[in-house]
């Protein structure tokens, strides 16, 4: 870990994010039991810090971070069904989502894709192509205290939830790119 002192008075530890070639990223992560361990809680907080900093240009440069809005525990080398999403819903304003044992319980029929394609903190190369995703999903799971939560996500946030939940099932985003037809036109799929 590179330890960096953040202005908050605590130490910011840069996470060690695994590369796509690591086997754990192709495995199904295990369900998590409550209560969470101190280590898990600390890792969740570190992940929130890093994802937030990575989306603020000044910190992204200062700490040499790759911008990202989501992380799943398997990317940190842990077979646990925990995802973290830090969504910038307005300039400089973030919503944090920590979902343990998440499941998509419903989805829209409408399919969308990120026009620029998707990226992943574990994939250190450019991958061309659109990744078809549901425009809206409802996700159920548990918060850090073990309370049941339900989140309705749409558009960019919906894509992020599907991307992170895929990680828990050993799926990387490029697995979902159609090899024969990597790009879609606006008339075939709504690009956001």
pLDDT reading at 146 higher than 80 = yes
Tell me the mean pLDDT in the region 71-90: 97
pLDDT in tens, 166-180: 999 999 999 999 999
Structure tokens at 105: 């319980």
Q: Check residue 10 and give its pLDDT.
A: 54
Confidence of residue 4 (pLDDT cuts 50, 70, 90): very low
Tell me the mean pLDDT in the region 69-96: 96
* Mean pLDDT, the chain, integer: 93
pLDDT in tens, 95-140: 999 999 999 999 999 999 999 999 999 999 999 999 999 999 999 9
Please provide the distance, in angstroms rounded to a whole number, between the alpha carbons at the two ends of the chain: 35
pLDDT in tens, 16-28: 999 999 999 999 9
Structure tokens at 64: 């040499």
pLDDT reading at 7 higher than 60 = no
Measured over the CA atoms of residue 42, residue 44, residue 50 and residue 53, the dihedral's sign is: negative
Q: Check residue 19 and give its pLDDT.
A: 97
Q: Check residue 12 and give its pLDDT.
A: 74
Q: Check residue 9 and give its pLDDT.
A: 41
Taking phi first (over 0 means left), then psi (-120 to 50 degrees means alpha), and beta for anything else, what does residue 180 get? Answer: alpha
- From the candidates 110, 164, 186, 188, give the one annotated as an active-site residue: 164
Say whether 164 is catalytic: yes
């Amino acid at each position: 870990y590179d330890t960096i002192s953040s202005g908050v008075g605590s130490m910011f530890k840069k996470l060690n994010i695994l590369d796509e070639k690591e086997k754990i990223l192709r495995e199904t992560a295990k369900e998590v039991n409550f209560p969470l361990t101190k280590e898990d809680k600390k890792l969740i907080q570190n992940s929130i810090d890093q994802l937030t900093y990575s989306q603020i240009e000044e910190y992204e440069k200062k700490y040499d971070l790759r911008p990202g809005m989501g992380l799943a525990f398997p990317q940190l080398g842990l077979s646990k069904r925990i995802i973290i999403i830090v969504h910038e819903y307005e300039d400089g304003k973030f919503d944090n989502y920590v979902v343990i044992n998440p499941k998509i319980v419903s989805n829209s029929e409408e399919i969308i894709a990120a026009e620029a394609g998707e990226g992943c903190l574990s994939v250190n190369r450019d991958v061309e192509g659109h990744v078809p995703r549901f425009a809206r999903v409802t996700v159920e799971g548990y918060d850090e205290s073990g309370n049941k939560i339900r989140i309705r996500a749409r558009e960019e946030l919906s894509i992020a939830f599907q991307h992170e939940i895929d990680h828990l099932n050993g799926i990387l985003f490029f697995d979902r790119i159609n090899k024969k037809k990597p790009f879609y036109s606006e008339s075939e799929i709504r690009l956001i």
